Chain A
Amino acid sequence: MSHSDTIPLHSSAQSDIDEIENLINAGSHPVTVLPARPPSPPRASIPVSFVPSAAPPPLPSYQKVPSSTAPTPPPLPITPTAAGSRLGVGIAADGFGSPPDTLTEPVLDTVKRDLSRIVSNLKLVVFPNPFREDPGKALRDWDLWGPFFFIIFLGLVLSWSASVKKSEVFAVAFAVLAAGAVILTLNVLLLGGHIIFFQSLSLLGYCLFPLDIGALICMLKDNVVIKIVVVSITLAWSSWAAYPFMSAAVNPRRKALALYPVFLMYISVGFLIIAID
C-alpha cells in the first residue's frame, strides 16, 4: 500500500538497477498495485529477454495492469516508460506502449490503423514518389490487406458488369489475379532475382489499384471507345507502377523475362475489363 505509493519510478532519473529493485519491491505486493477497475485480460506478451537475477514470478502480474490512465495511483501512468521497455523483463518487445494494446484495443482503432497503412502504401507504390527508385524503401511496411481488397473489388466489379455467368466471371478474375501474383513472384525467384515473396505479392496487388478505378469507370459507362481509352490509360499506369520494382529485382540481362509476365497479366485483366458486356 503505502510502500507501493512511494515507488518513485521516474522515467530517466533513476538507474536501471534501481528500477529493477523497485519493480521487485513493487512486485512483492501485487494486489496493492492493481487499480480500482478490473484489470484487462492478460496480454500475449513475448518475453524478449530476462535480466537473469531479477525475473521473479510476480512480475508478470505487474504487467497486467493496463497502461491507460483510469483512476490509478501515480506510479501507473509512468509505467509506459518503465524499466520494462528498456530491460525487456518479461514484457512485450516494445514495452508498455501501444503494441501490447493491439489485442485489446477497439476494433475501430485496428481498422483505422490498417486503413491508414493501406493508404500510405498506396501513395508509395502507385503515385509518383521520390522513393520509388529504391524498391527496398518503397514497400518496406508491406501488408496483404490492400491487395486483398483490390483483388476482391476488381472481381466484384467485373462480376457486376457481366450480364451472364456472373459467378464464373468473378472466379476467373480472382483466380487469374491471385494465382498470377504468386506465379509472377515465383518466376522472378526462379530467374535468379532477389525479392521477398510477400513483398512482391503485396506490390503486385497494390499496382492493381489503377485497374480497379478503370473497371469502375467502365462499369458506369458502357461505351466501347471510352472503355478502351480508360483501360489503356489505367493499364499504362499500373505497368508504370510495377516496373521499377520488378526490373530492379533481376539480372539486367533477364529484365524482359521478368517483366513480360507482369504485362501479360495486366493486359489480360485489361482485356477482361473491356470485353465484359
Chain B
Amino acid sequence: MEEGYTSLPASHLLGSVPAVIAEDKTTSVASEAASTANLHLFPPSNGGYQAPGTPSGADEQTTSSWQGVFSISSYSSYFNVDTDVVVERIISSVYPMNDFYRKIDGNPDLYGPIWISATLMFMLAALGNFGTYLMKKRNDSSTTWTFDVTYVEWSACAIFGYMLAVPAAFYFLLQYFGFRTSLVRLWCMWGYSLFIFMPICLLLVVPVELFRWIIILLAGIASSWFIAVNLKAYTQSSDLMMLIVGAMVLQFALALFIKMFFFP
C-alpha cells in the first residue's frame, strides 16, 4: 500500500476513491504540467479535474464551472508539498534574501500560510498571557495569574484577518495598475513572512521593557524588508514604490500591534 503513494498518476482524483489508471508516463506528465500551469487561477475554474490525456490548455478554461470552488480535489494542487520543501521555505523566509520568490514560483503552497498563521495565533494567545503576567508580577509582586481568554479571539482575528485581507488588497491594487499577479503567490509569501514572529514571541516573554522593544523593532524591520524585497522581485519594476512602502508599513504595524496588545 505504501508504494501506491509514491506513484500518483491519479493525483488529480484526490478526495475520491483512487482508480487504477493504466496511463503511460507521457500523458500523466502532460496533465501534471498543465495542472501546475493553472495555479495562478484562484479559485480553480475547471473543477480541478484534469482527465488524463486531454489537452488541458485552452479548451478546459472555457468550461469554467463554479463548482470548482467546492470540491476538495481542485484545491489539493495548492498543497502539493512535502515536509522538506516546507522546512526549506521556512528557513529561507527568515533571512530577507532575494531567492524566496524563486522558490515558490513554480509551486506556491497554501499549507505554509495556513498553519504558520494558526501556530502564531496560539502562540500569541498563550505567550501573551504569560508575558503579561510576568510583567505585572514584576511591577507588583502580589498579582495572581489570570488567563484572559479574549487574547485567543483577538489573535485569531488579527492574524487571520491580516493574512486574508492584506494580500487580497495588494492583489487588487496590482491588477488595477496593470500587473498580472497571482493571488496564491501573494498569500504564500505573506504567510511565510509571518514565521519570523514565532521565535520573537518566545523572546518577548522576557519582562524587560527595553529588550522587548528592541526585539520587536528588529523583527518588524526584518519582516518588512522581506516583504519589500519579494514584492519588488515580483512586480519587477520600481514605479510602485508607494505600494511597496505601504506593504512595509503594514507589516511593521502588525509587529507593533503584536507588541502593544499582547505584551503590554
Contact = CB atoms under 8 A, between A and B. Distances in A.
Contacts of A190: 14, 72, 75-76, 78-79, 111
B200 interface: no
B81 A257 contact: yes
B238 interface: no
Nearest to A251: B5
Contacts of A86: none
A253 interface: yes
A168 B2 contact: no
Contacts of A260: 115
22 contacts: A162-B149, A187-B111, A189-B76, A190-B14, A190-B75, A190-B76, A190-B79, A192-B5, A192-B79, A254-B81, A254-B83, A257-B81, A257-B83, A257-B111, A261-B118, A264-B119, A264-B122, A268-B126, A271-B122, A275-B147, A277-B144, A277-B145
A275 B82 contact: no
A252 to B, nearest CB: 7
The A interface is mostly helix, strand or loop, or mixed, namely helix
Interface string A166-199: 0011001000100000000011011110100000
Contacts of A165: 149-150
Contacts of A168: 149-150, 153
Nearest to B127: A271
B72 A186 contact: yes
B11 to A, nearest CB: 7
Given A190-B78, A260-B115, 17 more contacts: A162-B149, A176-B152, A189-B76, A192-B11, A192-B14, A192-B76, A192-B80, A251-B82, A252-B2, A252-B5, A261-B115, A267-B122, A268-B122, A268-B126, A275-B129, A275-B147, A277-B147
B83 A253 contact: yes
A205 B14 CA distance: 24
Nearest to A194: B18
Interface residues of B, number: 34
A271 B127 CA distance: 10
Interface residues of A, number: 31
A256 interface: yes
Highest count of chain A CB atoms <10 Å: which of B14, B80, B83, B129 = B83
A43 interface: no
Contact of A189 (B14, B83, B145, B146): B14
A255 interface: yes
B111 A191 contact: yes
A226 interface: no
A162 B115 CA distance: 28
Contacts of A194: 18
A277 B18 CA distance: 49
A252 B153 CA distance: 35
B6 interface: yes
Contacts of B5: 192, 250-252
Contacts of B122: 264, 267-268, 271
Contacts of B164: none
B149 A172 contact: yes
Highest count of chain A CB atoms <10 Å: which of B6, B75, B118, B149 = B149
A122 interface: no
A164 to B, nearest CB: 7
B51 interface: no
A254 B8 CA distance: 14
Interface string A210-228: 0000000000000000000
Given A192-B79, A264-B122, A275-B147, A172 B15 contact: no
A191 B111 CA distance: 9
Nearest to B1: A248
Interface in B197-251: none
